[in-house]
Amino acid sequence: MTQPQDLTWLLANLVNQIPHTRSALLLSTDAIPRFYYGLERDDADRLASLASPLCSLVQEVGKCFGGGHGMRQANAELGDGSILAITAASAGSILAVLADSTVNAGVLSYEMQQLGKKVPSSLATPSRSSSAEESRSV
């Protein structure tokens, strides 16, 4: 089995190319930070633990009230005006980005969607249950 590629550079490119973007985090749907840029490790853990259930909640709202299509992206304006944007990046992965209130939210949203489309196999996080089943069968 090959080691996963370090995708921190992709997150750094996203943060650095969009003015007023502070940090980006790629996490698994079960809240495990995989790669992050612009965050300390503890903050990446904290953001992952908050972004995962938020993504799950929005997914369910989309399934129930969005024509059964789940979620494309959710944005939240925080108390200081900064923005939290989350998107389902690819199978089993979530992309969370924090930006200042002056960010162009349309550009941020577009670039997050493009990142998910450009490298979906690289961003995919394998399901834990399939890994556990595979190891039991060996």
Q: What is the CATH number of the domain that holds 110?
A: 3.30.450.30
Q: Is the dihedral of CA 55, 45, 3, 110 positive or negative?
A: positive
DSSP assignment string, 22-76: EEEEEEETTS-EEEEESS-HHHHHHHHHHHHHHHHHHHHHHHHHSTT---S-EEE
- Domain membership of residue 134 (yes or no) is no
Tokens of 55: 């993504």
Domain-embedded: residue 84:
yes
The answer as to whether 26 is a domain residue is yes
Residue 71 within any structural domain of the chain: yes
pLDDT truncated to tens, each residue of the chain (138 aa)? 444 578 899 999 999 999 999 999 999 889 999 999 999 999 999 999 999 999 889 888 888 887 777 778 899 999 999 999 999 887 788 999 999 999 999 999 999 988 877 665 656 666 666 444 444 444
In a domain, 133, yes or no: no
Could you give phi then psi for residue 5, rounded to 5 degrees? Answer: -70, 145
Structure tokens given for 72: 């494309």
The structural domain count of the chain equals 1
User: Which structural domain, as residue segments, surrounds residue 40?
Assistant: 8-126
- Is 132 inside a domain boundary? no
Please indicate, yes or no, if residue 40 is contained in any of the structural domains: yes
Q: Within a domain: residue 2? A: no
